[in-house]
A and B are shown apart, each in its own frame.
Chain A
Amino acid sequence: MDFEDSPQERAYRARAAAWLKQNVVLDDPADGTPVGEVTAERLRLARTWQARKVAAGYAAITYPKEYGGAGGTIVEELIFEEEEARFRVPRGVFEISLGNCVPTVMAFGDVETRRRYVPPAVRGEEIWCQLFSEPGAGSDLAGLWTRAARNEQGWLVNGQKVWTSGAHFADYGLLLARTDPTVPKHRGLTMFFVRMDTVGLESRPIRQLDGSSEFNEVFFSDVLIPDEQRLGDIGAGWSVAMATLGFERGAVGGGLRLLDHTGLLEVVEDVRIDGLSALETPRFEEQLVDTYVRSEGIRLNYLRAVTELSRDRVPGPEYAIGKLVSARSGQQSAQTALEMIGEAGLLDACELGERWRLAERSWTWGAALRIAGGSEEILKTLLAERVLGLPPEPRVDKGIPFNRLSEESTGKPK
């Protein structure tokens, strides 16, 4: 057991840190839009940053060089991420693309597909989004209604997706659709990918609680997808989708960029309540300790998972607690930060300045993250079943063909 870098790791970290200092592209500081909103300028900055990383071998570090990666190790990737996290680089552009979608293409695409699509995505030239959830199918994803019907030219897709991050700037989407309604719901799904500018595909931004639009609705009317754009076998879409969600870094790692103990201290450092330093109040101290146990615990849990990977072992499902713990912790930390500033908490974030930014983001986005990528309730059920071996809940739809289920029970779109 050793928390310190080995000599090689130390050298790698020093090189990365020096390179970052010279080459980093920072997020636009004058940008007054909410942190999550990907403006044209933020998109441009993010692409510039990604291109520099690719050129220097700091993008997709564990991928082979032929795919635009650096052929490096998981520990090197961890070290670079730690060093990069010291800077406010533009974020929110490539997370889904490179975190969820491209690994799916790597795992399920044939050689030609991988060679064609992975390198431009790694370079940031092409961006991917994930077309999974529907208005009637969120936690129960396998109950989705978007239909892909076979014809001579390929597959004709009709239906609607929702909560699609980045659909408005993505070039490709990973699409889970129903190809066979006559079999039970998990077995009738197939995974495709689709160009987002295909005729008949339309995306509309959703205005969110924080006023910004990170998510979209995406509508399909007679969208034609060639069979070459299928990933995995017909009817195997569920297992491909589960792999995609398994790649999600937030599931295991920290990396949600919500208020942790350091951020919590920074936000209220000079605040006083009835003349007493806010840092010394019992309320704050309770929260500080809870936040530390969670955020530092998740960071250490992630390091344990990386250690497993570096020993060529697959981390077990018990490691997948990052999002479950961090989203709630970030939201709660922001709530306590709010309590520390009293009446100033009535004010909009634009009045409270740069230092309040992360707290505000945690107050809004923390609420979203408790739902996104598997709600807390779904994640707890998964832990109980997969790690503890508790039996599944009885299911009224088990084994019944999708088209024999009642329309109310599957949330058929009106």
Chain B
Amino acid sequence: MNFDFSPEQLELREQARNFFRRACPLERVREVADGNEAGLAALWKEACQYGIAGLVVPQDHGGLGFSPLELCVVTEEAGRALVPAPVAGPPGVMALGLTRYADEATRTRWLPRLASGDSVPALAFAPVHSGRFHGEPGIALRDRFVSGVIDVVPDGAVADVLLVAWSETEGADAILGWVDVSSAGAERALRVSTDPTRKVARFLLEGSEMHGLMIGPQAREACVWLRNAAAVVIAFEQLGLAERALQQAVDYALVRTTFGRLIGSYQAIKHKLADVLVSIQLARAHAYMGAWALASDSPRLALAAAAARVACTEASVLAAQENLQVHGGFGYTWASDCHLFYRRARYYGAMLGSVAAWRHRLANAIRGSALSGARTRQRLV
């Protein structure tokens, strides 16, 4: 039993934290929020030179060949930095998918370009939710060519390669594959994102080629695994965001005074922030369990990923909300940084299917695993 990252992994986390502190200060994020994207290309290039996009890309494909554990520690730091581009989590998830499921040609086509930063990835999972806000959903396959609409793709505005993981389609086979956004038949429409630092697009596909195509039960299994993997990896981005939001609130509580005292000396503020701290401490424990389940290919991944997703989403949303609240009226202005956290927490929470869907999945997983565990225990006593 050893429930912590190794000293080398913790050292990597320190390095990543220092890298993002230097290369991606909040002013950089704010620039992007204000529509100035001049610095983005340099940030992207520097992060890729540092190896961040290629952490889990195998070495023979130009990456660092690390395990998902290293991906998770670095991803947490990307979240802490509110990095305004898909430099850590999304390429990590896509590289895991390529390595695990794609044929050699597809791997060779994209893994090196992911690592070098020449390709920008986006994750297009089949929507879990449908209804009047969701447009006409659905894609269909003819031979190796895919047609249809993918309505909301996070990071879709900047991506040139899509991971299309289409598991939950009514009556239709599951589909997994990769689409080159610049290929014939792929049309992109930008959408207005609530987080201007991570932009969203709709894709209209008319006979776009699917690379590394898998269909049927095998693809279904792969899609489920990838969604769980993405939940764990994004949970670490959420964890980093939550801790940074809490730190922002603490920093403000240590300088702002009311009634002649620092606001941080009032129990109303202390208890509010202690609640956030507890929520993060629990989220971290679940995130670590998820990382272990992912890295060790454990059958507990579905349960652990759902718990990490739920705990980290709720912690990051709470931290962002209370950070704004502690800042008072100033927190509601564009000039404060609070909205950057508030928006990003919403962004992470809405992708991959929201916490409402994941709570239901988690309940199913608990009902499944706990009842079988209980029977074992009853026999023993």
- Identify the A interface with B (CB < 8 A): 1-6, 9, 26, 75, 78-79, 86-88, 261-262, 265-266, 269, 279, 285-286, 288-289, 292-294, 296-298, 300-301, 303-304, 306-308, 310-311, 318-319, 321, 324-325, 377, 379-381, 383-385, 387-394
Can you name 8 A-B pairs with beta carbons within 8 Å? A1-B5, A265-B370, A288-B367, A292-B307, A297-B283, A308-B4, A385-B270, A391-B254
- Establish whether residues A388 and B311, one from each chain, have CB atoms under 8 Å apart when the complex forms: no
Tell me if B282 and A1 are in contact (CB < 8 A). Answer: no
- Are B360's CB and A285's CB within 8 A? yes
The reply to whether A307 and B270 contact each other, CB–CB distance below 8 Å, is no
Which of A289, A311, A321 interacts with B281 by CB under 8 Å? A321
Q: How far is the CA of A298 from the CA of B311 in the complex (A)?
A: 12
In the bound complex, residues from chain B placing their C-beta under 8 Å from that of A310 are 2
Contact: A380 with B2, CB < 8 Å?
A: no
CA distance A383 to B377 in the complex (A): 36
B112 to chain A, nearest CB (A): 29
20 further A-B contacts with Cβ under 8 Å, apart from A262-B374, A265-B366, A297-B281, are A3-B296, A3-B298, A4-B1, A86-B380, A262-B373, A262-B377, A285-B359, A297-B286, A298-B285, A301-B282, A304-B285, A306-B1, A318-B277, A318-B281, A325-B282, A383-B278, A384-B273, A390-B264, A391-B254, A391-B262
With A5-B1, A297-B285, A390-B265 as contacts: A381 and B374 at CB distance below 8 Å? no
Does B275 count as interface, using CB distance less than 8 angstroms? yes
Cα(A321)–Cα(B374), bound, Å: 26
Measured between alpha carbons, how far is A9 from B310 in the docked complex, in Å? 31
The CA of A265 and the CA of B367, in the complex, are separated in Å by 7
Q: A293-B286, A324-B278, A380-B271 are in contact. Are A265 and B2 (CB under 8 A)?
A: no
Q: Mark B307-340, 1 if CB is under 8 A from A, else 0.
A: 1001100100000000000000000000000000
**Would you call the interface of chain B mostly helix, strand, loop, or mixed?**
helix
Contact A289 B363 (CB under 8 A): yes
Contact present for A381 and B307 (CB under 8 Å): no
Knowing A265-B374, A389-B254, A394-B265 are in contact, say whether A384-B69 is a contact too (CB < 8 A): no
Q: Within the complex, what minimum Cβ distance (angstroms) separates A269 from chain B?
A: 7
Which B residue sits closest to A88, measured CB to CB?
Answer: B381
- Complex CA gap A318/B274 in Å reads 10
| Chain B residues within an 8 Å CB radius of A266 | 374
Q: Are B281 and A390 in contact (CB under 8 A)?
A: no
| Contact count A vs B, C-beta below 8 Å | 165
In whole Å, how far is B73's beta carbon from the nearest beta carbon of chain A? Answer: 10
Question: Does B101 touch A at the CB level, under 8 Å?
Answer: no
Tell me, rounded to whole Å, the shortest Cβ–Cβ distance linking B371 to chain A: 6
Size of the chain B interface, CB-CB below 8 angstroms: 54
Contact A391 to B265, CB < 8 A, known contacts A1-B291, A289-B310, A383-B274: yes
* CB pair B1 A86 closer than 8 Å: no
Interface residues of B in 1-19 (CB under 8 A from A): 1-6
Residue of B nearest to A319 (CB): B281
Q: What's the minimum C-beta distance from A226 to chain B, rounded to whole angstroms?
A: 43
| Least Cβ–Cβ distance between B232 and chain A, in angstroms | 13
Q: Which of A279, A297, A389 has the most CB of B within 10 A?
A: A297
C-alpha gap A261/B363 in the complex (Å): 10
Complex-state Cα separation, A204 to B273, whole angstroms: 41
Cα separation A321 to B33 with both chains bound (whole Å): 37
- Of B1, B250, B273, the residue contacting A307 (CB under 8 A) is B1
Q: Are A304 and B362 in contact (CB under 8 A)?
A: no
A403 to B295, CA, bound (A): 61
Interface: B267 (CB within 8 A): yes
Residue of B at shortest CB range from A301?
A: B285
Expressed in whole angstroms, the Cα–Cα distance for A204 and B40 within the complex equals 72
- Pairwise interchain contact B270-A261, C-beta atoms closer than 8 A: no
Known contacts A1-B295, A78-B1; A384 and B274 CB within 8 A of each other: yes
